Chain A
Amino acid sequence: MARPGLQAETVALRGHNGDQGEAYYARPLRPGKVPGVVVIHHMPGWDEWTTEVVRKIAAHGYAAIAPHLFFRYGRGSPDDVASRARPAGGASDEEVKGDVAAAMAYLRAQPNANGKVGVIGFCSGGRHAYLVACTLPGIDAAVDCWGGRVIVHDPAADLTPKRPTEVIKLTPSLSCPLLGIFGNDDKNPNRADVDRTEAELKRLGKTYEFHRYDGAGHGFFSNDRPAYRPEQAVDGWQKVFAFVEKHLTASQSAAAAS
């Protein structure tokens, strides 16, 4: 079987407040309509691993885009830009929401878009995925990979003008199916945090799937770090792709409607 090709590039993206930013965009080259996925990067920024995730998702048949959430901190290599973002508190929740909304609109504007768009975020981006799934219209599926501080333990430190909301409290507004991927050895979110989040989703009757892995901690998909757990990561990625296929492909939507 021939492996389908893909095209990857950096594109201009006008984000929150009309600010001119950029995004990493990859799409499969096969003909036909494709769903889209917005990839929300973690605190180290718009790094190489994020671009690898975008290409991986594109290789599985989705148009994928990762907005550079720290572009407001000026030009330079992504690591230098992230080093400026960190002491300033990173991107605000409002900026993230605006930038993700812009990335979703970009995906839906492509001529081969099937109209379905999901989001996936890692670490702080996992919290962002939960945030946008509860606040932005038009998201068809959301994936939270070990998002920290969905539950806030220290409001004085963790609730700031840039992040004023404990996102677990937004769960009543969750408007799409949610997939959660967690390592049982993670400290943030720890097992009790994941228990509480799951209990809230269950209480509110939300559509969700949580997969929790023994022998894995925080960031266990990161194949460039000691945290990588190949067995758990391979299974986790399978869960991700099964979830987005279920909720984003046109054939599934047509089947659900019939």
Chain B
Amino acid sequence: MCSYIVEKASLVGSAKGPNGWMKIDTAHVYYDHPYHAPLDHALGIDFINVRNGGRERVAVELSAESARELVTKILAALESGEKEHAEVETTAAYLT
């Protein structure tokens, strides 16, 4: 069904679209009929910069299953990456 339900996440970061890199500050996240993906419903994410008017976006449309897979991989990458970098930073601090 058509829905206007949108979750909004505040972000710090950048995204690369057709016009190159841009700073982003917001993600609009929704689950509805996709525009391009051949699915009945898709998890859509629009990465935008609201402070710049939000007219340009980097967009993805994912199946529900792959969106959940992405969530777990984001958390896994963060956990392992932060642990790795924490060890490097601890070692660096020890050496100085």
Contact = CB atoms under 8 A, between A and B. Distances in A.
A87 interface: yes
A227 B40 contact: yes
A44 interface: yes
Given A123-B33, A219-B33, A86 B6 contact: yes
A79 B60 CA distance: 12
Interface in A194-235: 217-219, 222, 224-227
Interface in A73-108: 74, 76, 79-80, 82-84, 86-87, 89-90
B17 to A, nearest CB: 10
Contact of B54 (A79, A84, A224): A84
Interface in B22-47: 28, 30, 32-36, 38-40, 44, 46
A42 interface: yes
Interface residues of B, number: 22
Dominant secondary structure at the A interface: loop
A45 interface: yes
Interface in A92-145: 123-124
A159 B27 CA distance: 25
Nearest to B59: A83
A217 B33 CA distance: 13
B12 interface: no
Interface string B42-84: 0010100000001101010000000000000000000000000
A109 to B, nearest CB: 30
Contact of B35 (A82, A87, A89, A124): A82
Interface of B: 1-4, 6, 8, 28, 30, 32-36, 38-40, 44, 46, 54-55, 57, 59
5 contacts: A42-B33, A87-B28, A188-B1, A224-B38, A226-B39
Interface of A: 42-45, 47, 74, 76, 79-80, 82-84, 86-87, 89-90, 123-124, 148, 186-188, 217-219, 222, 224-227
